């Protein structure tokens, strides 16, 4: 008789536990649904509507319109203007070929409905003709190109430098902890603070960088307005971003390095391996999974480039530092166009996801 009773008790006990389990899970689950999953999915929903932050009109479903507006691109060939009688190409006083104005084709021209509302993004000379790449949203396309450039440079460079630093602070030297601590220090500082500080370093007149370069070249260096020049602005932001974040990934590499058994190095030494061979055949194979993690972390962080832009350049000069997150904030928050901002976020998420999956696939364990 005792047996079933105990079983009953145990069942009751299990049930109470399960209820407590749910109760302990509930707050986190509720917050997770409300502040992570709900915004994530409504972001997708908003991107197919004309939602605004505050609007007297009801929200309407607009299909792919937001995405078309962001991503439409088209080539168009401009033919030179010709003399109506002779058919000769017309030139201006400087001898440049004169073309009809682009807006004749892109503004309410019934013969070219597919070009309506597009603007010039780039153009090339092709013999007498001019090949124009039109985009419905040149600023957004520029921001995509910029962020790809940023990621392509930052991911390998920051990952590689972080590995070099990790190996430097993994040496068995006295006081090595002090260096570990210093290299990591910028990570704890706000990127906003770092950006303001580096604005001073990059200043075109009194900037520290110009002074250092001028001293190193005995005054032969022409000062550069690092953030004010479209050719140097993005690279300057890249250098600063690496300076701030490299310690973070150094630490992740370091924990990977410390999992490699020391006997492997001893064995390599016995077999006469030099430093490079030790790295190539012992260190690197042991870091495979760490490498995937570091690359994915850097890529995801890099795609979110925002604070540096907001503080230092606001997308300029000449849109050379525009980024998708900066554009999403400008449109979603400053212009209160939630739909447009959400559509940019969706494009960004699809890109981050794709690239993470590709990286994971390329670096998979064979």
Partner 1 sequence: MSQAREVTQTQKNLMIFTRYLLLILVASIFILPLIFMIMSSFKPDLQLLRDSSSIRAILPVGDLSFDNYASAFERVPIMRFIGNSLFVTATTVILSIVVNSMAAFSLAIIEWRGKGIILSVIIATLIIPADVIVIPMLMLVNQLPWIGASGIEFGWLNTYHVQIIPFIVDPLSIFLFYTYFKDLPTELVEAARIDGASIFQIFYRVIMPISGPVLATVAILKFLPMWNAYLWPLMVVQREELRPVMVGLQYFFQLDTLWGEIMAYLTIITVPVLLFYLSLQRAFIESIASTGIKG
296 forms part of the interface with partner 1 (CB under 8 A): yes
Question: By C-alpha distance, which of 123, 120, 113 is closest to 137?
Answer: 120
Residue 124, SS3 per DSSP: strand
Q: Is the dihedral of CA 337, 343, 349, 352 positive or negative?
A: negative
**Pick 39 or 100: Cβ nearer partner 1:** 39
Residue with tokens 């915004």: 39
Residue 326 in tokens: 């900066």
77 forms part of the interface with partner 1 (CB under 8 A): no
- Rg of the chain over CA atoms, in angstroms? 29
Nearest approach, Cβ of residue 175 and partner 1 (Å)? 9
d(CA 348, CA 324): 7
Nearest approach, Cβ of residue 213 and partner 1 (Å)? 11
90 forms part of the interface with partner 1 (CB under 8 A): no
**Pick 136 or 327: Cβ nearer partner 1:** 327
Nearest approach, Cβ of residue 232 and partner 1 (Å)? 18
189 forms part of the interface with partner 1 (CB under 8 A): yes
Nearest approach, Cβ of residue 300 and partner 1 (Å)? 6
Q: Kindly determine how many residues on this chain lie close enough to bind partner 1 according to the rule CB under 8 A.
A: 98
The stretch among 86-94, 112-120, 149-157, 287-295 that binds partner 1 (CB under 8 A) is: 287-295
Q: Which of 197, 213, 224, 260 binds partner 1 (CB under 8 A)?
A: 197
The stretch among 3-11, 66-74, 146-154, 325-333 that binds partner 1 (CB under 8 A) is: 325-333
The stretch among 66-74, 94-102, 127-135, 176-184 that binds partner 1 (CB under 8 A) is: 176-184
Residue with tokens 């200043």: 203
Q: Which of 72, 129, 211, 359 binds partner 1 (CB under 8 A)?
A: 211
Nearest approach, Cβ of residue 215 and partner 1 (Å)? 8
359 forms part of the interface with partner 1 (CB under 8 A): no
Going residue by residue from 30 to 69, which x/- string records binding to partner 1, judged by CB under 8 A?
-xx-xxxxxxx-xx--x----x-xx---------------
If phi > 0 it is left, if psi is from -120 to 50 it is alpha, else beta; for residue 133 that is beta
Q: What count of other Cβ atoms lies within 10 Å of the Cβ of residue 234?
A: 22
Going residue by residue from 264 to 283, which x/- string records binding to partner 1, judged by CB under 8 A?
-----xx-x-----------
The stretch among 84-92, 120-128, 178-186, 276-284 that binds partner 1 (CB under 8 A) is: 178-186
Residue 258 in tokens: 């410390």
H or E segment and range at residue 120: strand 119-126
Binders of partner 1 among 141-160, rule CB under 8 A? none
**Pick 319 or 337: Cβ nearer partner 1:** 337
Binders of partner 1 among 219-258, rule CB under 8 A? 243, 247-248, 251-252, 254-256
Nearest approach, Cβ of residue 112 and partner 1 (Å)? 34
The CB-side HSE value for 73 (13 A sphere, CA atoms) comes to 11
Residues 147 and 305: beta-carbon distance below 8 Å? yes
Nearest approach, Cβ of residue 294 and partner 1 (Å)? 9
Nearest approach, Cβ of residue 292 and partner 1 (Å)? 6
Nearest approach, Cβ of residue 53 and partner 1 (Å)? 6
Q: What count of other Cβ atoms lies within 10 Å of the Cβ of residue 144?
A: 20
Residues 318 and 23: beta-carbon distance below 8 Å? no
Q: Is 361 exposed, middle or buried (0-12, 13-18, 19+ CB in 10 A)?
A: exposed
356 forms part of the interface with partner 1 (CB under 8 A): yes
**What are the angstrom distances between the C-alpha of 144 and each of 1, 308, 316, 337, 342?**
74, 17, 15, 19, 15
Residue 223, SS3 per DSSP: coil
Q: Which of 128, 160, 333, 335 binds partner 1 (CB under 8 A)?
A: 333
Residue 315 in tokens: 């997308």
Residue 37 in tokens: 């999953």
């Amino acid at each position: 008789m005792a047996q079933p009773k105990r079983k009953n008790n145990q069942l009751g006990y299990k049930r109470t536990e399960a209820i407590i389990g749910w109760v302990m899970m509930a707050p986190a689950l509720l917050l997770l649904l409300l502040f992570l999953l709900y915004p994530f999915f409504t972001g997708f929903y908003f991107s197919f509507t004309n939602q605004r932050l505050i609007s007297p009109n009801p929200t309407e479903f607009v299909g792919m319109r937001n995405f078309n507006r962001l991503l439409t691109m088209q080539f168009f060939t401009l033919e030179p203007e010709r003399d109506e009688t002779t058919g000769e190409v017309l030139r201006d006083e400087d001898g440049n070929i004169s073309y009809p104005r682009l807006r004749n084709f892109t503004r309410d021209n019934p013969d070219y409905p597919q070009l309506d509302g597009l603007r010039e993004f780039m153009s090339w000379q092709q013999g007498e003709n001019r090949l124009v790449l039109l985009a419905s949203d040149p600023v957004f396309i520029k921001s995509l190109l910029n962020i790809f450039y940023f990621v392509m440079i930052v991911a390998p460079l920051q990952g590689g430098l972080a590995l070099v630093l990790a190996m430097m602070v993994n040496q068995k030297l006295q006081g090595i902890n002090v260096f570990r601590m210093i290299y990591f220090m910028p990570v704890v500082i706000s990127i906003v603070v770092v950006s303001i500080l580096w604005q001073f370093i990059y200043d075109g007149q009194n900037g520290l960088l110009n002074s250092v370069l001028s001293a190193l070249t005995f005054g032969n260096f022409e000062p550069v307005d690092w953030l004010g020049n479209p050719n140097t602005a993005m690279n300057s932001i890249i250098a600063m971003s690496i300076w701030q974040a490299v310690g973070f990934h150094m630490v992740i590499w370091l924990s990977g390095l410390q999992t490699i058994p020391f006997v492997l190095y001893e064995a390599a030494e016995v077999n006469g391996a030099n430093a490079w061979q030790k790295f190539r055949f012992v260190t690197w194979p042991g870091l495979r999974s760490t490498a995937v993690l570091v690359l994915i972390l850097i890529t995801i962080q890099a795609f979110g480039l925002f604070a540096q832009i907001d503080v230092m350049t606001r997308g300029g000069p000449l849109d050379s530092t525009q980024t998708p997150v900066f554009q999403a904030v400008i449109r979603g928050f400053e212009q209160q166009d939630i739909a447009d901002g959400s559509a940019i976020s969706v494009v960004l998420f699809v890109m981050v996801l794709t690239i993470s999956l590709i990286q994971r696939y390329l670096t998979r364990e064979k």
